[in-house]
Amino acid sequence: MNYPKSQEILEEIKKAKKILVNCHRSPDADSVGSALATYLVLKKMGKDVKVVCPDKISEDVKFLPSSEVVEKIDFGKFDFGQWDLFLLLDSGSPGMVTGKREGVLPEIATIVIDHHKTNLNFGKINLVDESISSTGELLFSIFEDWGVEIDKDIAQNLLAGIIADTGVFEYPLVTSRTLDIARSLIDKGGDRQEIILNIFKNIDFNKVKFWGEILTKMEKDEAGFVWSAISHEDFKKFGSPGSAKESAASLFAPIVAGTDFGMIMVEEDKGILSISFRSRGDFDVSKIAERLGGGGHISAAGAKVYVSDFDQAVLKVLEAARKVVNENQKK
């Protein structure tokens, strides 16, 4: 048994007839892949299942098996009364689930399954393992505990989450267990090349041009990090490309010599500055994200700042980053 709580979660699932599964706001491949893998497993159990998300999924994950079942909903208007159980995957807080600042969850039983070190443990049952690379990897172990037979479609969804959240096995939380699980999923039909092609090598031209804007505006701070900030007007000028901030952060924020980390800020909605942080080494960027109401991992984190003035929002992020750097230097 990988996790003692696996059995407790399974018992709750067995009691439920109608089950919701979430994808978090601005869903990435680990969020979507984990939700779809869980959906397929629950359908095999004979459950009535729906996958819900506060945002539309991006084009780069629509190749995943059963991606068409993900339904964009307004959490303030959706009728949760007919559902027995809500599985909250890859989400560190209620706000990540609902996409709303206040993050109020429905009054039904909830189970949190996640790997973020900043998780608030906000479910009725919480299985959070911050030592795991991805929720996809965590679910593999849970499914193993349940005795689930992983087919090709489940394998593809789990493998996509692992590959995406590890940056193709680059990040520090990758272990020999991670690689063993990936090998097992490939043996079961997971297509590594299809995943890498769609997630990392299938970029819309407007997004590539937007990356150029991010690089043009990138600055190096004396505190030892790089940053770039894009206003809502400039974001719209490039067609408001989906997941552009996160991908730019992964590509460019952690590669500059002489820095400890980098951050990309984009005002994706007017008055809401969204930030992605990436570390070059062991600098814990989640500490900055937490200061701003967000969360994540040592090497990758995110947050949103709700300040109507763009310049003031950027200044707030920079001040938070410099304070964390200063605190680290005093230790």
Q: Read off the pLDDT of residues 253-287 as tens digits, 9 standing for 90 and up.
A: 999 999 999 999 999 999 999 999 999 988 999 99
Which CATH code is given to the segment(s) 5-200?
3.90.1640.10
pLDDT confidence bin for 100, thresholds 50/70/90:
confident
Q: Strand, coil or helix: what is 76?
A: coil
- Please write the tens of the pLDDT for every residue from 37-66: 999 999 999 999 999 999 999 999 999 999
The whole-angstrom separation of Cα 57 and Cα 68 is 9
Domain ranges of the chain: 5-200, 205-330
30 contacts 134 by C-beta, under 8 angstroms: yes
Query: Across 151-238, where does the E strand assignment appear?
Result: 219-221, 225-230
Q: What predicted TM-score, i.e. pTM, was given to this entire model?
A: 0.89
For the stretch 288-293, contacts whose Cβ atoms lie closer than 8 Å and that sit 24 or more positions apart, written own/partner, are 288/263, 288/320, 288/321, 288/324, 289/118, 290/118, 291/320, 291/323, 291/324, 292/316, 292/317, 292/320
What mean pLDDT, rounded, does the chain reach?
96
297 contacts 117 by C-beta, under 8 angstroms: yes
- Select the CATH number that applies to the domain covering 205-330 from these four: 3.10.310.30, 1.20.1050.10, 3.40.50.300, 2.40.400.10: 3.10.310.30
The whole-angstrom separation of Cα 36 and Cα 26 is 16
- Please write the tens of the pLDDT for every residue from 112-128: 999 999 999 999 999 99
